[in-house]
Structure formats: structure tokens, C-alpha cells
Amino acid sequence: MDNYLATPQSRRLKLVPQVLMPGESISSLVDRQAQLWGVLRKELVYQAAFISGLVALKDLDVCKEGGFLDIYAQKTGIDRRLLEIHRAQVSSPLVSQRLRYPYCPMCFHEDASAGHIPYFRLDWARIFLTHCQRHGCPLFRWSRVSSDGTRKLPHGWFIGEGPDQRSLPQFRQDLMLARAYAFGARPRAPSSIEAWNRLKNFEAWLYQTGVCAPICRVLDDRARSIERDVMEHAVTLARSATANGRLLVEESDAVSFEDQRVMSFTFKESPVRDSNPAWRDLRSGIQSIACRRAVLFIVSGAYNAK
């Protein structure tokens, strides 16, 4: 039987790309589609479904089953099941939507070199992940973000011009530093090398344990306990984040890390542990990736000391 509620072919929004890339977030797909139409994310979402779109924009990556995703699939012709596979089940383990700008320059370079439009992975939005699991380099902040959260890519990437874009001097700088970390040229100082390796190992362990996984969240008691414990420690530290993106800690806990863009500290007296820590304090409380990385570094030491 025909589905009389489906949007007719002639009235569908003719959007490309139609397929999500491996690990891509839903908001990344919508951002790429919106830019090819020359509009912002919110304008495209409103066009697809005004009422449901208003709700979806609160967190496009965590759309509940039904509602906006059903309408978007009908109006664009995208298989609803593809959208569901990439949907995060909960928002708590992700940074807030307006802060989902971390990216891996090496992943972007590989995407563009292969003729694909670079895209944002959902994993990059995890609160407890600040380095690329594929390349082992730090994640960096994508600077071209509009007020509604649309992450803007250069036009050349949409027409297959390759990764080298003159309009992206920040991307070139990020790529050089990312490669230096991936290939072992950075950091150089022994204390920074030790700190960087400890941080990567801690984040990789959390990742493999399933802590803060946005999809397929089937946590056993051990993983759930670890997730809660790390969150409580991180919230305590997050309350000591400064406006300029540095973490205030005791001098004995800080590391004079050689790359301030990667990990930033300054000194203060030991912070007081909060009595009722919650995910919301982490999701929007730390806007700097370098500061979030510093939080995880301190937490890794506290957790390993138990």
C-alpha cells in the first residue's frame, strides 16, 4: 500500500549529500546540505519542518525517535534508518551543541584528498575525548562557525578542489601541529611527552570501556561507575576553568606544557569539591578544548592513584 503521508518526489527538498559518512553526526550532514543551498542550518531545518525543527535545533544530534527525523527523511528522501544509525541516544556525554566544533585536521585532509567533503564525526563531540583515535593527534577548534552553530566549510571542498585552501590559514597551522603530534615530533620536553602520553592512554581507556559513548549505550556496572566517578572529578575541576580557557589548579598538579593551544594551566589553591556534580556543568562549563584536556589530565592522575 502506498504511503499517502509521504512527501511526493516533486516536493522533496533536493539536498546533497544524501548519505552520511562513517561516524558522521546528523548535524554535520545538515550543515553540509545547508551550505550547498547557501543557507544556515537553522534555515534548512525550519524549511523541512518548522515546529519539529524548533525542537530539533536544541540538539540535532540527539533527535528523539519520531518527530523531526521522520519528517526530514520524508522530505529529503534520505533513508530513515541511516539517520537513526547516526543518532546519539543521549546528550549528557556530549559537549553542548554550540561547542561541537572540535575536529581533526588530519581527518579533514584525508577526506578532502579522497574527493569527499570533510565532515564532523560524532565522536569528536564526546566530553572525555580530546584527541583523534585514528591519528593520535589533538583535536582542534574549527573557527568558521556561525551564530546558530553551522560549521562552515570552504566552497572549494564542495567542488573537489582538494585539501589545500588559501582561505584557511588556521587549518594549515592546525594540520602542521597535528602532524607533529601524530608523527612524534611534538611535544619535545620530557614532562610534556609524559603528560601527553598519559592523557592519550587515559582517554583511550575510557573510550574502549564505553564511557561517554553516545551510541549503543549498554554500560555494565563497572563502566557506569567509572563514568560517574570521572564525571564527578571533572565537574569539580571544571568549576575552576577561567574565562580565557585555562584550568586553575594547585601548582603541584600543573604541568608546564609546551603547547598552550593543546593544554593550558594556571595556579590557584585547591578547589572545593562540589556536593552535587552534574553533566550540565561539563557540557557547557568548559568552552576551551585545551582546558578540557587539562581537566582530563588531572582526573587521570587522581583516578590512577586510587
What global pTM score does this model have?
Answer: 0.88
Residue 123 structural domain: 97-150+159-182
**What is the C-alpha separation between 292 and 234, in angstroms, rounded?**
9
Both 264 and 225 in one domain: the answer is yes
- The answer to whether residue 214 is domain-embedded is yes
What is the number of domains present in the chain? 3
Average pLDDT on 101-127 reads 97
- The answer to whether residue 7 is domain-embedded is no
- Asked if pLDDT for residue 157 goes beyond 90, the answer is yes
Both 106 and 42 in one domain: the answer is no
- Asked if pLDDT for residue 272 goes beyond 60, the answer is no
- The answer to whether residue 92 is domain-embedded is no
131: phi then psi, degrees, rounded to nearest 5: -135, 160
Type of residue found at 41: R
Both 60 and 138 in one domain: the answer is no
Average pLDDT on 244-257 reads 63
* Cell output for 17: 549529500
Which of 36, 53, 85 is the last residue before a domain boundary? 85
**Least confident residue range of 6-10, 104-108, 177-181, 261-265:** 6-10
Both 236 and 279 in one domain: the answer is yes
Both 23 and 42 in one domain: the answer is yes
**What is the C-alpha separation between 82 and 97, in angstroms, rounded?**
21
pLDDT of residue 189: 94
**Least confident residue range of 3-12, 44-53, 164-173, 200-209:** 3-12
* Cell output for 74: 520524508
- Asked if pLDDT for residue 59 goes beyond 60, the answer is yes
**What is the C-alpha separation between 37 and 250, in angstroms, rounded?**
50
Chain position carrying cell 576553568: 241
Both 210 and 277 in one domain: the answer is yes
Type of residue found at 46: Y
Cα 130 from chain centre: 9
Both 196 and 246 in one domain: the answer is yes
Q: pLDDT digits over 161-172, tens only?
A: 999 988 899 999
Mean pLDDT over each residue of the chain, to the nearest integer:
84
Q: Which of 289, 291, 280 is nearest to 142 (CA)?
A: 289
pLDDT of residue 37: 85
